Amino acid sequence: MKRIGMLTSGGDCQALNAAMRGVVKSLTNAEQNVEIYGFLDGYKGLIYGNFRMLTRRDFSGILTKGGTILGSSRTPFKLMREPDENGLDKVEAMKQNYYKLKLDCLVILGGNGTHKTANLLREEGLNVITLPKTIDNDLWGTDMTFGFQSAVNIATEAIDCIHTTAASHGRVFIVEVMGHKVGFLTLNAGIAGGADIILIPEIPYDIDKVVDAIEERHSKGSKFTILAVAEGAISKEDAKLSKKELKEKMKNNPYPSVSYEVADQIKKRTSYDVRVTVPGHTQRGGSPCPYDRVFASRLGSEAGKLILEGKYGFMVGIKNREIIRVPLEEVAGKLKTVAPDASIVQEAKMLGISFGD
């Protein structure tokens, strides 16, 4: 008999359901007696003992379904050690619920913050296995996170759609792409969508270089320019500031996001008609793409194998197309970012894409 607790935490993404289905299918195919406790809305469910007993049937028909059948929420790691408004010790509460239900392990699906808490629970003596989800692809220890490829598809489609209207009107268009503090999503969607300029946090931009790239295109006869700008893109000037100085500067920043600032600066320096499009959370929505369905199913399957072997304390990831087990303590608290000199960046530059650097 295996008793498994499962939860999805942090911002949702495509293929969370596919991954959970993979875990449950692989387990229940090998073992008749499996009890599944689905904690609702992320760590909150584990803290407050809010769960649903689930059976194999609950995971049927969800391979293609976006979102998460368990619900999700953000419970910041830095607040985990702080008591809640009623004085409840959250970490103790999670441990008590785990022991009360006599769980063999927790399967936790999440991104960076989620992994820090998962590792904390491991340090506190709980059996934990994690699966890497996020459209940002910024989890250390795995080449890929599920959700990423689906989000690349959506962001690319957004750029594709902008292309036709930008061409018709001869405009400069900025498409702002999610990704939090890293540029994987913007870089991939930008290349796939044929963006002319790509701005990512790892390569701070110089607005004069951005304008030069637009002018050069126009001087060569192109009537329009597409910029893929990461929501975390930063100017060279701002990148030099300390965290505190930047926070102070941002207090007086009138722009809703970096794209609007870049648009304004382009308008001030040129006579072009500039527009901003922000696909936002559409990038996290809808059905997972086939890659993510396969990938999440493989991860889930390996998680099931780990549970059957009684091996815990791992994130299941992928390296060179092979599914791997990475010790949780190696993953927690580390961010994977785009190396500014990565070959993909060099190749993009060879194609004539400007990074504004």
Q: Which of 2, 7, 11, 131 binds ligand F6P (CB under 6 A)?
A: 11
Please tell me the distance from the alpha carbon of residue 254 to that of residue 262, in angstroms, as a whole number. 12
- Residue of 41, 58, 84, 136 marked catalytic: 136
Alpha-carbon dihedral 72, 78, 82, 84, rounded to 10 degrees: -20
CB of 322 to ligand F6P, least distance (A): 26
Asked whether 196 and 225 are in contact (CB, 8 A), the reply is: yes
CB-wise, 45 or 201, nearer to ligand F6P?
201
Please tell me the distance from the alpha carbon of residue 236 to that of residue 113, in angstroms, as a whole number. 27
Q: Of 7, 16, 109, 129, which is closest to residue 62 (Cα–Cα)?
A: 16
Asked whether 77 and 116 are in contact (CB, 8 A), the reply is: yes
Footprint (CB under 6 A) of ligand F6P, residues 15-74: none
Question: Does 178 engage in binding with ligand F6P (CB under 6 A)?
Answer: yes
Binding range to ligand F6P, per CB under 6 A, among 130-138, 154-162, 242-250, 267-275: 130-138
CB-wise, 139 or 345, nearer to ligand F6P?
139
Question: Does 196 engage in binding with ligand F6P (CB under 6 A)?
Answer: no
CB of 177 to ligand F6P, least distance (A): 9
Question: Does 180 engage in binding with ligand F6P (CB under 6 A)?
Answer: yes
Q: Of 160, 230, 237, which is closest to residue 199 (Cα–Cα)?
A: 230
Question: Does 217 engage in binding with ligand F6P (CB under 6 A)?
Answer: no
Footprint (CB under 6 A) of ligand F6P, residues 260-299: 284
Question: Does 113 engage in binding with ligand F6P (CB under 6 A)?
Answer: no
CB of 69 to ligand F6P, least distance (A): 18
| Three-point CA angle 137, 214, 228, nearest 5° | 15
Q: Is residue 138 among the annotated active site residues?
A: no
Query: How many angstroms separate the Cα of 326 from the Cα of each of 169, 252, 354?
Result: 50, 43, 36
Q: What are the structure tokens assigned to 33, written together?
A: 């007696």
Q: What are the structure tokens assigned to 131, written together?
A: 């699966």
Q: Which of 14, 98, 107, 136 binds ligand F6P (CB under 6 A)?
A: 136
- Angle in degrees, 0-180, between the axes of helices 343-350 and 184-192, rounded to the nearest 10: 30
What counts of helices (H) and strands (E) characterise the chain? 13, 11
**Ramachandran angles phi, psi of 342, nearest 5°:** -60, 150
Footprint (CB under 6 A) of ligand F6P, residues 221-240: 231
CB-wise, 132 or 313, nearer to ligand F6P?
132
Q: Which of 9, 97, 130, 134 binds ligand F6P (CB under 6 A)?
A: 134
State the number of binding residues for ligand F6P (CB under 6 A). 10
CB-wise, 101 or 139, nearer to ligand F6P?
139
- E strand segments, the chain: 2-8, 34-39, 51-54, 105-110, 128-132, 172-177, 197-199, 225-230, 274-277, 314-319, 322-327
* Residue 309: Cβ-neighbour burial (10 angstroms; 0-12, 13-18, 19+): exposed
Q: Which of 54, 70, 120, 135 binds ligand F6P (CB under 6 A)?
A: 135
By beta-carbon distance, which residue lies closest to ligand F6P? 178
CB of 29 to ligand F6P, least distance (A): 32
Per-residue DSSP letter, 85:
T
CB-wise, 10 or 313, nearer to ligand F6P?
10
CB of 118 to ligand F6P, least distance (A): 16
Binding range to ligand F6P, per CB under 6 A, among 94-102, 176-184, 255-263, 289-297: 176-184
Active site residues: 136
Residues interacting with ligand F6P, by CB under 6 A? Answer: 11, 111, 134-136, 178-180, 231, 284
